[in-house]
Amino acid sequence: MQGSNVKNKNTANKVIAFILLIIPWITYLWINSYNKAEPPLFGLTFFYWYQTVWLAISAILFAVAAVLIYWSEKN
Amino acid sequence: MIGIAGWITFIVLFVIFTLLGFYGARWRKGDLTNLHEWALAGRRLGTFLAWFLIGADLYTAYTFVAVPSGMFASGALYFFAVPYVATAFMVAMVTMPRLWQWSREKGYVTAADMVQDRFSSRVLAGLIALTGIIAELPYIALQIIGMQAVLGIMLLGVTKNVSLITDIALTVSFIILAAFTFTSGLRGATLGAVLKDTLIFLAVIALIIVVPLRYGGFASAFTDAQNFASALAAKHITWLGTGITNLKSVASLEAGYTTLWMGSTFALFLYPHAINGSLSASGKRQLAMSNALLPIYGIGLALLSLLGLLVYSDSGAMQMLSNFPLSSRGIYSIPALALTSLPGWFAGIALLGIFIGGLVPAAIMAISQANLLTRNIIKPLYPNIKPETETRISKWASVIFKFIALGFVFLVPATYAIQLQLLGGIIILQTLPSVFLGLVTKKLHKYALIAGWAVGILSGIYLVELANRFGPLSTSLFPVGGYLLWIGLLALGFNLAIAVILSIPTLFKKQI
């Protein structure tokens, strides 16, 4: 029974990881949400700073996903 | 002018770079007559070094030259590079660890090795290898153009023979690069990558702080850019046509933006140099984590691309750029900004960063081309060659590929080489069905994959020609029903359709 618990946990981890991985795609595909100049940040228009900030967010989401997927397997 | 202090830091750091490159042979010593030791640094790079090395594949002249130059001339469309790097590493995270594991278990050095095994076809593997070799050539040429831009700015006003001295300096640099790649392989490139990226980070951070502070910030840069574009519009020249503060809100351009980043995302980790870097990681976790964290690297790319617009507010840099023809001005924008807004010694550091920022990727690209040539084209023809001979052929091939690219740059005008790189991206994307789908299934038929590949390549080239009305290449977007779509993705669509449809009969047969 313990074997199937481990397996379930791995599947759950992979589903969560998949969701985390897909979030940046949805963000960037939804171009109408960010293709505008307002509101600016330090004079930089929204279009540029929003997409740049999402690079940092993507890295965090991907790092969590990497742990979920690959730390349960043998290295 | 860069001044004596700038020249000194530039030259001293170049000497350090060269020494590091040769020292690579002794670093984490391995038997360099083995191909995986020479070409994959013995597969021993941890998270940190793999991050630098794979990052070095991203932070190339593409970043310093092609993207800022596109922002400078065409505008916001070229910011597609930002979503592109975010998602490209997600693709790497899900594909590369599996390829890494198989390559360790079965001794693969290239993606074509895997394709040959999966689909039992040396012809298909050979075609994948050939596609990789050809797609890398304009990419290396682009690196050289970035180095030319640095030298062109440094020599401005110093000598009248700028192009002759630039050619000599490039040739000398390439001889040094070829010599240390020959002796140290990927180890030398890795150490060079750490130095290069440290210098680049310093330069980018300094520039993004100094330039807006000195010249009135982004708002005034956008106004200056608008004025520049309006002055040209009066002369009927289209300039910054895709938008300045953001992308022009028209459906056709937004579709172009989206398909450009999506297509480039799938293309990046099909490039042999990106795969080569991935296979050199020391483990799956290290590889996955370094890829997960690589979007952070992209922040530097975002800042560099913004400098392509900030340059409009720096009248000194604009003055310097006016020495060059309008069409090639953009490639000089980052070097010119470094020179006008940083103190001489620091400008020397920044310019050297950009200069070796072309050299290091060129070395990795030539190594990966050489591996494809020996493993997937020469070896199938001469199956009995010894491992030492295989490595020797690779080492010499890496030298030859570098000089082919250099010769290419000497013969072909710079703007033309950048356009060919557009074509390179479209071509390399056509290896996706064999490589990425090969990682999850072997049910596709080898001849179906070959047919799909051929259709993808031919339709890609044809559509590029059609979109540019068979004239000089300036766009890689094709209008379909009011939307501009990146040709690479269109061709990939045809390619995938053929590969899947032609595989159906054999799938069916096996089930009976």
Distance CA B454, CA B427 (A): 10
Contacts of A52 in chain B (CB under 8 A): 82, 299, 302-303
Q: What is the pLDDT of residue B501?
A: 93
- Model confidence at A1: pLDDT above 60: no
B203: which residues sit within 8 A by CB, 6+ positions away?
B338, B342, B346, B349, B350, B353, B354
CB atoms B94 and A21 under 8 Å: yes
Better-predicted residue by pLDDT, B205 or B454: B454
Fold of B3-421: Sodium/glucose cotransporter (1.20.1730)
CB atoms A48 and B246 under 8 Å: yes
- List the single best residue of A22, A51, A61, A72 to mutate versus B (max B Cβ within 10 A): A51
Classify B216 as helix, strand or coil.
coil
Q: What is the pLDDT of residue B123?
A: 94
CB atoms B257 and A66 under 8 Å: no
Tokens representing B365? 């690209």
Smallest CA–CA distance, residue A31 to chain B, in Å, is 7
CB atoms B293 and A63 under 8 Å: yes
- Encode burial over B288-308: b for 16+ CB neighbours within 10 A, e otherwise: bbbbbbbbbbbbbbbbbbbbb
Please, are residues B138 and B417 in contact by the beta-carbon 8 Å criterion? yes
Q: Where are the domains of chain A?
A: 2-70
Task: Give a three-class secondary structure readout of B182-197.
Answer: HHHCHHHHHHHHHHHH
CB atoms A59 and B295 under 8 Å: yes
Q: What is the pLDDT of residue B1?
A: 66
Q: Percentage of chain B with pLDDT > 90?
A: 33
Lowest mean per-residue pLDDT among B9-13, B38-42, B282-286 = B38-42
- Encode burial over A21-59: b for 16+ CB neighbours within 10 A, e otherwise: bebbbebbeebeebbeeeebeeebbbbbbbbbebbeebb
Cα B334–chain centre separation: 17
Q: What is the pLDDT of residue B417?
A: 66
Instruction: State ipTM.
Output: 0.92
CB atoms B296 and A56 under 8 Å: yes
- List the single best residue of B80, B278, B284, B303 to mutate versus A (max A Cβ within 10 A): B284
Smallest CA–CA distance, residue B90 to chain A, in Å, is 7
Mean of the pLDDT values across residues B14-35? 80
Nearest to B93 among A43, A46, A66 (CB): A66
Q: How many other CB atoms are there within 10 angstroms of residue B284's CB atom? A: 21
- List the single best residue of A52, A64, A68 to mutate versus B (max B Cβ within 10 A): A52
